[in-house]
Amino acid sequence: GENVEQHPSTLSVQEGDSAVIKCTYSDSASNYFPWYKQELGKRPQLIIDIRSNVGEKKDQRIAVTLNKTAKHFSLHITETQPEDSAVYFCAASKNSGYALNFGKGTSLLVTP
């Protein structure tokens, strides 16, 4: 089955700096890669996703890049703010609408 590795497990940055979280996956058939943000005690919420026919996608301060050859994808957050502090999960799936295989999460702390 699909195995998704995520690192780092914790990341601390100062407000205004950039944060990068990286994930690798094992199943070359995977072609849908969402990122979820989970604040303490709350449900995971989708922040951005990318499909395998696209190499990069950007939404304001958030961007995701995908390298299908190397089987890795990354989340980039620029100009971080304290409200970006949360746990971020990457996931991979053979197609959108199917079961998601999640990484173990990255706890991001943005200090003022």
Stretch of 11-19, 39-47, 59-67, 75-83 lying at the interface with another protein (CB under 8 A): 39-47
Per the CB < 8 A criterion, the answer to whether 103 and 33 are in contact is no
If residue 68 lies in a helix (H) or strand (E), which one and from where to where? none
Give the nearer residue to another protein in terms of CB position, either 58 or 98: 98
Cα–Cα separations (whole angstroms), residue 35 to 6, 54, 106, 111, 112? 11, 15, 11, 22, 24
42 binds another protein (CB under 8 A): yes
For residue 82, give the 3-state DSSP assignment. Answer: helix
Stretch of 11-19, 54-62, 72-80, 94-102 lying at the interface with another protein (CB under 8 A): 94-102
| Cis geometry, peptide bond prior to residue 8 (ω within 30 degrees of 0) | yes
Instruction: Kindly tell me which residue out of 21, 35, 89, 110 binds another protein, with binding defined by CB under 8 A.
Output: 89
73 binds another protein (CB under 8 A): no
Per the CB < 8 A criterion, the answer to whether 92 and 33 are in contact is yes
Measured from the CB of residue 72, what is the shortest distance to another protein in angstroms?
17
For residue 77, give the 3-state DSSP assignment. Answer: strand
43 binds another protein (CB under 8 A): yes
Interface ranges with another protein (CB under 8 A): 4, 6, 32, 34, 36, 42-46, 49, 89, 91, 95-105
